[in-house]
Amino acid sequence: MTPRNNKWREYVSYKMDRNKFHKMLGLEFVSIEPGEVTGELVFQEMHEQQNGYLHGGVTSAICDMVSGFAAYTMVEQDQQVFTVECKVSYYNPGISDKFYARGWVEKAGKRFHFCASEIYYLKGEEKITVAKSSTTMAVIEAGVVKGKHL
Amino acid sequence: MTPRNNKWREYVSYKMDRNKFHKMLGLEFVSIEPGEVTGELVFQEMHEQQNGYLHGGVTSAICDMVSGFAAYTMVEQDQQVFTVECKVSYYNPGISDKFYARGWVEKAGKRFHFCASEIYYLKGEEKITVAKSSTTMAVIEAGVVKGKHL
Amino acid sequence: MTPRNNKWREYVSYKMDRNKFHKMLGLEFVSIEPGEVTGELVFQEMHEQQNGYLHGGVTSAICDMVSGFAAYTMVEQDQQVFTVECKVSYYNPGISDKFYARGWVEKAGKRFHFCASEIYYLKGEEKITVAKSSTTMAVIEAGVVKGKHL
Amino acid sequence: MTPRNNKWREYVSYKMDRNKFHKMLGLEFVSIEPGEVTGELVFQEMHEQQNGYLHGGVTSAICDMVSGFAAYTMVEQDQQVFTVECKVSYYNPGISDKFYARGWVEKAGKRFHFCASEIYYLKGEEKITVAKSSTTMAVIEAGVVKGKHL
């Protein structure tokens, strides 16, 4: 995909740096390319649901993060990205020491981007899909939204 | 709704107690009734997305929690509840010191429950909806699933 | 809800009249109010899925219609409404001679409206929900979209 | 994918034959393989929404059909498939004389299958995606469900 902002990498990094929640979760971003972002999560006790697996809320939060930052690679300088809606399907329980996440822009538009993501882990060489998501991200013009860190 | 387990309250409390992620997020459960669970979240810096608002991933995690525990009020002893899929729509940005969450079972079935939730805050006396969700929860027989804390 | 077009009723009727698919399905619109549209469907053989029930595709099409026209009651003259995405949950099989549909705008915005709908039938005096939906509808300025009947 | 019924092809054909709604819409099934079904739709006036494009309700119905019959290729003899929920995202307006549909099983389970589908048309050699869907299909044991044509 062709970025719309020649400083897209700096812009996304700037946004990531201001995002407190991904830091608290421990999601590390591994690669950032136009239209695609990947990350990794080392499983910790705080991520557990009631059976000791990866909590679905951690999964959906990570889906939102990699999709949202993938969308940020495809906007103009100072445009904002907001999640309009997101659906997550949980394919398999998340039972692993480490999880991998990939988010990408399926179709970049003027008003919104359609994004997708997957969370998986490795069992030997086999890739086990924990969840897949589809998201509508709104692209908002600079100046329309007012927030603490804009 | 009529519970299927006369120890439903103890069973849900037991499950909540083992859930690490809701504690880490700071979600407090305020009421637990058959088919409905409510909670409150005091906004903290760790919950911020890049503009200083409530992160969509926190919102979706809370939707999952109140929906999932509402589902747990409507299963038999030792049955497990798993999120099959969840869609969250984000109606308004989450800009408040405190958020309220309500999850409920829309239709309880044998194999799965359809659940819904809403997250909102108060602006004076006005209720501002941050997000609404619809979720399919699978109801799994005791013994089928193996986890650390079953 | 307060309409944004003082000729909203004529505008929606104009749009309904040009919509061929609802006529082919046999969906009759019963009431049209600002932010809410209701309709009825007399069950016919053409609506059957493989077991003789109401086809899920008929259900989802009706969800789209009542939601979409509810959205059309809340736009300005000549603005267009397009479905961005729709999720339908199927609560109960559709086994009846007649079905009722209700679509409404949950939150009207500038760029898009969040809509919801329900399809149900009556079993004596009991209301049986067949399906519920949540939809994002884009509101597009006049002149941006070109179609045969604009 | 490996079918669970050595008469899967006959079983799916039997189900397709009893499905009245796909015939009324004019959807022709082109290929049926384990875990994947494709179809084609010649655009007709009855498929039009208010602007003369492919109606979103036709699109969502076709998503349901190719996904549902893909799921039927992956069940045991006499098991039934029901749509639990479906989300459709509309990427581009459907403006063409002919549309192509593909539905597939993403993950086949014991209780439900996760399915996906895409609807597209060809503009010269370019493939234009009209919509993508993700669906949860319930797999129900023979004898549990009673319908006219079981």
Residue B147 lies in a domain: no
Q: Does A127 touch chain D (CB under 8 A)?
A: no
C146 domain residue, yes or no: no
Q: Which chain B residue's Cα is nearest to C115?
A: B89
Residue B19 falls within a domain, yes or no? yes
pLDDT digits (tens, 9 = 90+) for B99-111: 999 999 999 999 9
**Domain at C73, CATH number:** 3.10.129.10
D91 located within any domain = yes
User: Per-residue pLDDT tens for A45-90?
Assistant: 999 988 889 999 999 999 999 999 999 999 999 999 999 999 999 9
> In this structure, are residues A61 and A86 in contact, taking their beta carbons and an 8 Å threshold?
no
Q: Is residue C29 part of a domain?
A: yes
Q: How far is CA D23 from CA B105, D60, D81, in A?
A: 36, 15, 19
pLDDT at A149: 59
A18, A20, A51 member nearest B148 (Cβ): A51
Q: Please say if the pLDDT value at position B146 is more than 70.
A: no
Q: Predicted confidence band at B16 (pLDDT cuts at 50, 70, 90)?
A: very high
Strand ranges, E, within chain C: 27-33, 36-42, 80-90, 98-108, 112-123, 126-140
Q: What is the mean pLDDT of residues B83-104?
A: 97
Q: What is the pLDDT of residue D67?
A: 98
Helix (H, G, I), strand (E, B) or coil at B72: helix
Q: Helix, strand or coil for residue C147?
A: coil
Residue A112, min C-alpha distance to chain D (Å): 10
The distance of Cα A71 from the centroid of its chain, to the nearest Å, equals 9
* Closest Cα in chain A to B68: A56
For residue A86, what is the nearest residue in chain D, using CA coordinates? D87
> Please, are residues A56 and A49 in contact by the beta-carbon 8 Å criterion?
yes
**Cβ–Cβ below 8 Å for D57 and C56:** no
Chain D neighbors of A106, CB-CB under 8 A: 91, 132
Q: What's residue A50's pLDDT?
A: 84
Q: Enter the tokens of residue B9.
A: 């309250």
Q: Residue C134's closest CA among A54, A84, A106, D117?
A: A84
| φ, ψ for residue C109, nearest 5 deg | -115, -170
Number of neighbouring beta carbons within 10 Å of residue C147: 15
Of the pLDDT bands very low, low, confident and very high (cuts 50, 70, 90), residue C148 is low
| pLDDT at site D145 | 65
- Cross-chain residue pair A134–D136, CB shorter than 8 Å: no
Q: Is residue A150 scored above 60 in pLDDT?
A: no
* pLDDT score at C142: 76
What is the C-alpha to C-alpha distance for residues D13 and C55, in angstroms, rounded to an integer?
17
Mean pLDDT of the residues in chain D: 94
Chain centroid, CA D140 distance in Å = 18
Residue C85 forms part of a structural domain:
yes
- With cut-offs at 50, 70 and 90, classify the pLDDT of residue A100: very high
Which of D112, D113, D134, D135 best probes binding to A when mutated, by most A CB atoms within 10 angstroms?
D134
| Torsional sign, CA C20, C21, C25, C29 | negative
Q: Which residues of B touch C91 (CB under 8 A)?
A: 106-107, 114
When pLDDT is averaged across residues D13-41 and rounded to a whole number, the result is 95
Look up the domain containing C122 and give its range: 8-140
Chain B residues near residue D84 by CB distance under 8 angstroms:
84, 112, 136
Q: Kindly tell me if the per-residue pLDDT of B149 is higher than 70.
A: no
Q: Tell me whether residues B84 and A85 touch, CB distance under 8 A.
A: no
- Residue in D53, D82, D90 nearest the CB of C84: D90
Structural domains counted in chain A? 1
Report pLDDT for B50. Answer: 84
Residue C107 lies inside a defined structural domain of this protein = yes
Q: What is the pLDDT at residue C72?
A: 97
Task: Kindly determine whether residue A57 and residue B80, on different chains, have CB atoms separated by under 8 Å.
Answer: no
Which of D67, D106, D112, D133 best tests the B interface by mutation, with the highest count of B CBs <10 A?
D112
Whether residue D87 and residue A87 make contact (CB cut-off 8 A), yes or no, is yes
Mean pLDDT over the full length of chain C: 94
The ipTM (two decimal places) reads: 0.94
What are the pLDDT digits (tens) for C67-124?
A: 999 999 999 999 999 999 999 999 999 999 999 999 999 999 999 999 999 999 999 9
Distance of CA B30 to the CA centre of its chain: 12
pLDDT, tens digit, 9 for 90 and up, residues C23-68: 999 999 999 999 999 999 999 999 998 888 999 999 999 999 999 9
% of chain D exceeding 70 in pLDDT: 95
Put simply, the chain C residues between 23 and 52 with a CB less than 8 A from any chain D CB are 23-25, 45-52
The pLDDT of residue B51 is 85
Query: Could you tell me the pLDDT band of residue C147, with boundaries at 50, 70 and 90?
Result: low
A145 falls within a domain: no
